[in-house]
Structure 1
Amino acid sequence: MTWSAPLCGSSYKNNSWKQIFSPWKQRDIEILLKSFSVSLCFSGETARNNMGNSSGRGRQASARIRLFQAILLAIVSIISYGALVLPEIVLPTAVPLQPGDVSPSDFQATKSLQYISEVRTEDARRAAENAIALVYAPPDPSIARGQIERLRATLQYIALVRNDENSTPEQKVSDIAALSDVQLKDETIARILELPAGRWDAIQQEALSVLEQVMRPTIRDQELEDIQRTIPSLVSLALNEEQAAIVAELVTAFVVPNSVYSEELTEAAKQAARESVEPIIQEYKAGEIIVLRGQIISAADFEALQQFGLIEETSPWQEYVGAGALVVMVAGFVNLYFSRRRLPFLFEARSLILVALIFILFIVSARLIIPNRTVLPYAFPLAALGLLIATLFGVESGIVFSIALAILAPYNLPNALDLTPYYLLSSLTGVLVLGNARRVWTFFRAGMATAGAGIAMLIAFRFPFVQMDVIAILQLAGAAIFSGLAASSIALLLQYFLAQTLGLTTALQLIEISRPDFPLLQFFLRNAPGTYQHSLQVANLAEQAAEAIGADALLTRVGALFHDVGKALNPMFFVENQAQDQVNTHEDLAPVEAARAIISHVHDGVMLARKHRLPRRIDDFILEHHGTMLTRYQYNQAVKAAGDDASLVDKERFRYPGPSPRSRETALLMLADGSEARARAERPEDEEAIRNIVRSTIEVAEKQGQLDHTQLTLRDLSIITDVFVSILRGTHHPRISYPKESPATQDVSIGPNTNRR
């Protein structure tokens, strides 16, 4: 029963069930919900005390399980954090290196990759820049004119000195030697002074002509000496050697560069050369060696290692902090989600431990296998976790843990942005396709769906951004197919192993044991056919009601099939297995002995269930379908035998051991069992009588506190009543009495008409 929508027993003990719940409309239910939103009502002070004690114990148990959940979540988080950072310590994907270091190991490309190599591109641009020669400005004519004028002025000065009659020869030599623009040799000066006037005039004309001829082309600094050496060859052959030497010496002194270096033009040429170099694309195939062990790491090698994430560029503490933040975020998500979803496995310590161990197994395996691999990450069957948990504990749980694992597993890997959506979407698709997994074929279908989703994610997140050849594409597609099929196979095998070993309940198990040819059902049918037919009717009732209120219909049906299987060991103690003319076995027994014989079918049922290795969840249906009720008929017989003095009868000797139902499914079985048995005994003739039987059965169970821990709401009980009435009405509908055969009708054929026309 839920606390927000309680049923009331003691407060309405003078009212009929019909007055309280008829006509079961939403308005009436809302009034009840508003009127009784604080606590459940129980008849009698004892019931209230028992409820207080039960609530106290329930709160203590709830606090213990919450503490256990918190401790387990912390343990899983710590181990997950270790799984995230341990590979970086044991098998680091990145190491601290610098260009010029000696490679400590062989480094291979972790995937096929193309990238623009900044190092190689810069080397090519620098080479193109260095190939550009210095750029000079065009020849400047003013420089040539200036030098010619200076030479003319020098020649005129020498002529004046030659013609100075007042100067001595020594004085003339000294004056010519003092020229600043030209430093003539002493022998050259002596020859100049000895030349006749006509020869000197010819030398002057030739010197000016040769200088003009020399200064007309481009002359650069580095070319000056070469040009000066060519001057003697330019002097006219009309002059003798001495005169030609004088001309060459004079002209050489005035030859200067007429084209100067231009820094601006040179830089512009170099920039144009740099820009003409196209970016260099560096390509590596998956598995290709980047640098061998013992080699000096070049700048290009270092760049490649950076591109593949093989160089540790940050402090490891940053990665450790990041891993911790991610684990805390995922743990918070899981805790926040399940705190708002009260799923059954969350309150079973064994189930919680199993989920934790499965998650730890997958996260540790993934973190040890996936790093430093190229194709293997896409073949790793990560989706098996979600498929397995969905099979054992429901689709909702499978989805949550699939999300958590898909986020954690590829953390800090070079291709994490590819792997995260790949793992996430493929796992979720597989879980949703698997569903409740009632057929083995469903696992294969889920595996193919997982593979298909993985291939779709590769197409969406990898192919558009990474250049890949046909072989690489086929490798990844094959890896995705292998991952999907391996995940479904692993989930199928593990769920079978865990279910058999730990007694867990799966849909496949329930389907298998509910087959009519299952040995225990065959034993049940042969030994107690009446009880078997009763169980089939109860299973139909409970299953339909479970569907209507959103409970586990398959579990409810299978539990109902086996709830009375213990009666097969002593079938004659139960009236449905006795022939009409047979003496009731209980007439020869004392009420206590008769009650013991009836109650024993619960213990016998559990024994048979264990013998035939039924899931432990079926034990709950066997133990709880009578709760802690009394065998009312035998108890009344004992009270009657005691002179109607109930104080002389030990009520506990007539009580079923229980416990009372602890789930909606077992509560449905209790109500269906009681309703079907009473309907079979009372044979109601109309729908109203059937409805009264169902309501009375529910009211009795509620008043005795049998529904206190089932989380059934008033709305659920209303739906259950309608479902039970609908099915029982079809089972116990009135029939037309067939007339007895008369001599006139005995020979009438009821087969098909065989007359021919």
Structure 2
Amino acid sequence: MENPNAPHSSRRLSTFRLILLTVVSVATFVALSLPDALRPEALPLNAGDVSPRDFQAPRDATFESAALTGQRRQAAAESVPPVYSPPDPAISRQQMERLRAALDFITLTRADAAASDSQKHADLASLRDLQLAPETIDSLLALADARWDTLRDEALSVLERTLRGVIRESDVETVRRGAPSLVSFSLNESEAALVSGLVQPFVTANSLYSLELTEAARQAAQDAVEPITRSYKTGQTVLRAGEVVTEAHIEALQALGLIRSGSQPLDLLGKAALTVIAAVFTGLYFYRRERSGFLYDSRSLLVMAVMYLLFLAGARLAIPGNVLLPYLYPLPAVGMLLATLFGIEAGILISIVTCVLAAYGFNADLLPYYLFASLCGVLALGSGRRFWSYIWAGVAVTGAGVAILAAFRISTGDLDWLGVAQLVLAASGNGFLSAAFALLGQYFLAQSLGLATALHLLEISRPEFPLLQYFLRNAPGTYQHSLQVANLAEQAAEAIGADQLLTRVGALFHDIGKAKNAAFFIENQAPGQMNTHQDIEPEEAAATIIRHVTDGVTLAHKHRLPRRMDDFILEHHGTMLTRYQYNQALQKTSDAAKIDLENFRYPGPRPRSRETAILMLADGAEARARAQSPQTDEDMRSLVRSVIEYVQKEGQLDHTMLTLRDLNIIVESFVTTLRGSYHPRIQYPAAELPAGEPLATIPRK
């Protein structure tokens, strides 16, 4: 584990975090984008092409069809007939005035006595509004004045009645042909023909085509068309191989994500934005949760990043184009696995980020399906201390998945019971696979990378574990001391919210190195046995004592203990001095400057976590209590505080993130636990037996 407070190490760790976050962000963007380019169905497909394969809906989908809605609206607009304005009285009056002017000119021409017949003939032929045939002119000039006046009035009457109706441009010829039917039957046939000939040229359209009204009517017809929605069930064929592709096919395939849409740059921009949000969220978590132990271990961060990317990439490749595989894919396993390795917080954090990114752009129910299944699995599993925890976690994943599927599928009303049953089976498989991946993954990572998982810690803390048996047989006194320290440290860790299981197991093995030279340590020497410390030089004795740290690491590696155990073995003495041997050396020389302090100093490092710091304090407190046997709680509390003050004075707690509140809680926890082991006992007087009476005959009271 990195030292989080050492200046150079802190800068290196911060740089490592930044680089790792950047690399993971880039890899996340690639994972979000690359599958679209790799899938064959993502190749462009245009209207008019022949479909190269069958396309089936990967999910239930309902969407508004712009293509079909547009076609229907276009048909509705085309069905609207042209719209004409109402009959315009001004047009009718204008035509009446023109006819009246023409008739007045004919009347004047007929009455002109000075004009010859040829002149009158020529004048009538020159009328602009009337194109009169020569025989018609002859008939007009031959009429008697009374008959002309009758024809004149009848012509005006016929035109007026004709123009009172609605006449459109397309109807003008029809209306003109119908003018003779309006002539009074009191006129003879030739006179009726003259009237018709005078009226017909003045019949014109009085109701004109209105572009504005026509466009408004067509727009109203389009607006009246409701949007057309299209629905597809999971597995339904959208387009068959060999079928000619239409715009409606293109639209459906794009809506279902089976082909690329035309807005690919916008898709990439959206994925980039989501990647940035995920990176910022994760970075803020790192910044705010600085007491999380895994944040200060570069190897833990790397393992977390690799697991996250593997499961995210797998999801982005497995989901597109598949119906059941997305619901079977064990995405909850990543959160459950990391929860067993680095704690529930880490599992929840990665679950949220992974689920949001994995489900982006796919079926609406995938995000809640993955997210709730993952969170329920993580919370049900916890630290994964028992095999049954994984079983219950798998059940929780299945239950959450089925509940989400019920919420999204059953509520639609249009049920496909076979499809629902298949999805429920997929959700059940998801729970089983997630639990299995988490169990096998934590075992593999614990064994190969030396990570401390709950199951592994429980396994190595069993009394029959070979290394503990070796410890008990070779150094029984140190073994009993380690048990007492483990009890002390475990209770204190629980009190301040540290990892109590890790602390207990670390305490069990912290002095394992003494088993290689057990007789040298006082707790393993029989009463009356010669003290070997008195027969050798202080430097040699100190070296032998200090060597139990490196011997412990050697034994830990030999028996494949988690690498985290190295921290407990190396850090439980930190960089403190072997004070007894150092004082011996001082007594043997008059010049303290000649003594090399490094010969009496443990190699360290100083404790770098709350758990190893608790072990250091528990180790010192138990040894002092065993040596001094305090009789009262105040004596016990004073002893514990003196141990903590000495360790603080030596700077051994500078890198542990322990607070003053934590230290006060640790003091009270130590006092409570030590009280049970070193409480005062009644001194019983020696029993005197009655003379001549054996012990067995003395009655019990």
- Alignment TM-score, normalising by the size of structure 2: 0.76
Query: Is the counterpart of residue 591 in structure 1 residue 540 in structure 2?
Result: no
Query: Is the counterpart of residue 624 in structure 1 residue 571 in structure 2?
Result: yes
- Structure 1: which amino acid aligns with 2:478? T
For 1:527 and 1:442, how far apart are their aligned partners in 2? 36
Q: Secondary structure at the match of 2:697?
A: coil
In the alignment, which residue of structure 1 is the partner of 2:305? 356
Cα distance change on mapping 1:733 and 1:132 into 2, 3 Å: closer
Q: Secondary structure at the match of 2:526?
A: coil
In the alignment, which residue of structure 1 is the partner of 2:238? 290
Q: Quick check: 2:4–2:608 contact (8 Å CA) kept in 1?
A: no
> What does the per-residue CA deviation read over 1:46-93, in whole Å, with 9 as the maximum and x for residues that have no partner?
xxxxxxxxx999212211111111111111111111122212322276
- Structure 2: which amino acid aligns with 1:345? F
Match of 1:653 among 599, 603, 607: 599
Shift of 1:544: 1.1
In the alignment, which residue of structure 1 is the partner of 2:279? 331
Single out whichever of 366-375 and 665-674 deviates more from structure 2: 366-375
Cα distance change on mapping 1:266 and 1:616 into 2, 3 Å: closer
For 2:48 and 2:245, how far apart are their aligned partners in 1? 5
Q: Quick check: 1:108–1:289 contact (8 Å CA) kept in 2?
A: yes
In the alignment, which residue of structure 2 is the partner of 1:151? none
> What does the per-residue CA deviation read over 1:151-204, in whole Å, with 9 as the maximum and x for residues that have no partner?
xxxxxxxxxxxxxxxxxxxxxxxxxxxxxxxxxxxxxxxxxxxxxxxxxxxxxx
- Structure 2: which amino acid aligns with 1:303? E
Q: Quick check: 2:520–2:533 contact (8 Å CA) kept in 1?
A: no
Cα distance change on mapping 1:122 and 1:319 into 2, 3 Å: closer
For 2:622 and 2:5, how far apart are their aligned partners in 1? 34
In the alignment, which residue of structure 1 is the partner of 2:652? 706
For 2:600 and 2:14, how far apart are their aligned partners in 1? 37
- Structure 2: which amino acid aligns with 1:371? P
1:240-389 correspondence runs (5 A): 282-309=230-257, 310=259, 312-316=261-265, 318-340=266-288, 341-389=290-338
Unpaired runs of at least 5, structure 1: 1-54, 138-219, 226-250, 752-757
Cα distance change on mapping 1:649 and 1:459 into 2, 3 Å: same
Shift of 1:261: 13
Shift of 1:589: 5.5
Match of 1:84 among 14, 27, 32: 32
Q: Quick check: 2:394–2:432 contact (8 Å CA) kept in 1?
A: yes
In the alignment, which residue of structure 1 is the partner of 2:405? 458
In the alignment, which residue of structure 1 is the partner of 2:60? 112
Match of 2:388 among 433, 441, 464: 441
> What does the per-residue CA deviation read over 1:346-380, in whole Å, with 9 as the maximum and x for residues that have no partner?
22222222222222212222222222223322222
Match of 2:552 among 605, 608, 616: 605
In the alignment, which residue of structure 2 is the partner of 1:677? 623
- Structure 1: which amino acid aligns with 2:330? P
For 2:604 and 2:79, how far apart are their aligned partners in 1? 97
Unpaired runs of at least 5, structure 2: 87-167, 174-195
Q: Quick check: 1:572–1:585 contact (8 Å CA) kept in 2?
A: no
- Structure 1: which amino acid aligns with 2:659? T
Shift of 1:541: 0.8
For 2:311 and 2:370, how far apart are their aligned partners in 1? 13
In the alignment, which residue of structure 1 is the partner of 2:697? 747
Match of 1:529 among 446, 461, 476: 476
- Structure 2: which amino acid aligns with 1:548? A
Shift of 1:414: 4.0
Shift of 1:539: 0.8
> What does the per-residue CA deviation read over 1:78-128, in whole Å, with 9 as the maximum and x for residues that have no partner?
111112221232227655555334445543322233456565566678778
Match of 1:421 among 348, 368, 371: 368
Cα distance change on mapping 1:596 and 1:719 into 2, 3 Å: same
Match of 1:499 among 446, 453, 461: 446
For 2:686 and 2:370, how far apart are their aligned partners in 1? 71
Paired residues in the alignment total 686
Q: Secondary structure at the match of 2:463?
A: coil
Cα distance change on mapping 1:595 and 1:478 into 2, 3 Å: same
Q: Quick check: 1:94–1:311 contact (8 Å CA) kept in 2?
A: yes
For 2:373 and 2:638, how far apart are their aligned partners in 1? 52
Shift of 1:604: 2.5
Q: Quick check: 2:486–2:508 contact (8 Å CA) kept in 1?
A: yes
> What does the per-residue CA deviation read over 1:506-547, in whole Å, with 9 as the maximum and x for residues that have no partner?
111111111122222222222322222211111111111111
For 2:371 and 2:214, how far apart are their aligned partners in 1? 58
Cα distance change on mapping 1:621 and 1:305 into 2, 3 Å: closer
Q: Secondary structure at the match of 1:290?
A: strand
Deviant stretches of 4+, over 6 Å: 124-137, 220-223, 260-280
Single out whichever of 557-566 and 651-660 deviates more from structure 2: 651-660
Q: Secondary structure at the match of 2:238?
A: strand
Q: Quick check: 2:409–2:415 contact (8 Å CA) kept in 1?
A: no
Q: Quick check: 1:586–1:594 contact (8 Å CA) kept in 2?
A: no
1:194-273 correspondence runs (5 A): none
For 1:678 and 1:658, how far apart are their aligned partners in 2? 21
Match of 1:731 among 662, 677, 683: 677
> What does the per-residue CA deviation read over 1:254-275, in whole Å, with 9 as the maximum and x for residues that have no partner?
999xxx9999999999999999
- Structure 1: which amino acid aligns with 2:391? F
Shift of 1:285: 3.1
Query: Is the counterpart of residue 519 in structure 1 residue 466 in structure 2?
Result: yes
> What does the per-residue CA deviation read over 1:190-232, in whole Å, with 9 as the maximum and x for residues that have no partner?
xxxxxxxxxxxxxxxxxxxxxxxxxxxxxx9999x9xxxxxxx
Q: Quick check: 1:96–1:313 contact (8 Å CA) kept in 2?
A: no
Single out whichever of 266-275 and 367-376 deviates more from structure 2: 266-275
For 2:229 and 2:310, how far apart are their aligned partners in 1? 42
Single out whichever of 699-708 and 396-405 deviates more from structure 2: 699-708
> What does the per-residue CA deviation read over 1:310-329, in whole Å, with 9 as the maximum and x for residues that have no partner?
3513143x222222222122
For 2:326 and 2:356, how far apart are their aligned partners in 1? 14
Shift of 1:622: 1.6
For 1:589 and 1:418, how far apart are their aligned partners in 2? 76
Q: Quick check: 1:573–1:585 contact (8 Å CA) kept in 2?
A: no
Shift of 1:482: 2.2
In the alignment, which residue of structure 1 is the partner of 2:612? 666
Cα distance change on mapping 1:311 and 1:458 into 2, 3 Å: same
- Structure 1: which amino acid aligns with 2:382? G
For 2:571 and 2:216, how far apart are their aligned partners in 1? 94
Q: Quick check: 1:591–1:635 contact (8 Å CA) kept in 2?
A: no
Shift of 1:569: 2.8
In the alignment, which residue of structure 1 is the partner of 2:662? 716
Single out whichever of 736-745 and 356-365 deviates more from structure 2: 736-745
Cα distance change on mapping 1:686 and 1:469 into 2, 3 Å: same
Q: Quick check: 2:631–2:680 contact (8 Å CA) kept in 1?
A: yes
Q: Quick check: 2:6–2:655 contact (8 Å CA) kept in 1?
A: no
- Structure 1: which amino acid aligns with 2:356? I
Shift of 1:502: 0.8
Q: Quick check: 1:566–1:608 contact (8 Å CA) kept in 2?
A: yes
Q: Quick check: 1:112–1:467 contact (8 Å CA) kept in 2?
A: no
Cα distance change on mapping 1:729 and 1:105 into 2, 3 Å: same
- Structure 2: which amino acid aligns with 1:496? Y
For 1:89 and 1:346, how far apart are their aligned partners in 2? 35
Q: Secondary structure at the match of 1:335?
A: helix
Q: Quick check: 2:339–2:346 contact (8 Å CA) kept in 1?
A: yes
- Structure 1: which amino acid aligns with 2:404? M
Cα distance change on mapping 1:343 and 1:414 into 2, 3 Å: closer
Q: Quick check: 1:531–1:564 contact (8 Å CA) kept in 2?
A: yes
Q: Quick check: 1:694–1:725 contact (8 Å CA) kept in 2?
A: yes
Cα distance change on mapping 1:631 and 1:267 into 2, 3 Å: closer
For 1:267 and 1:635, how far apart are their aligned partners in 2? 105
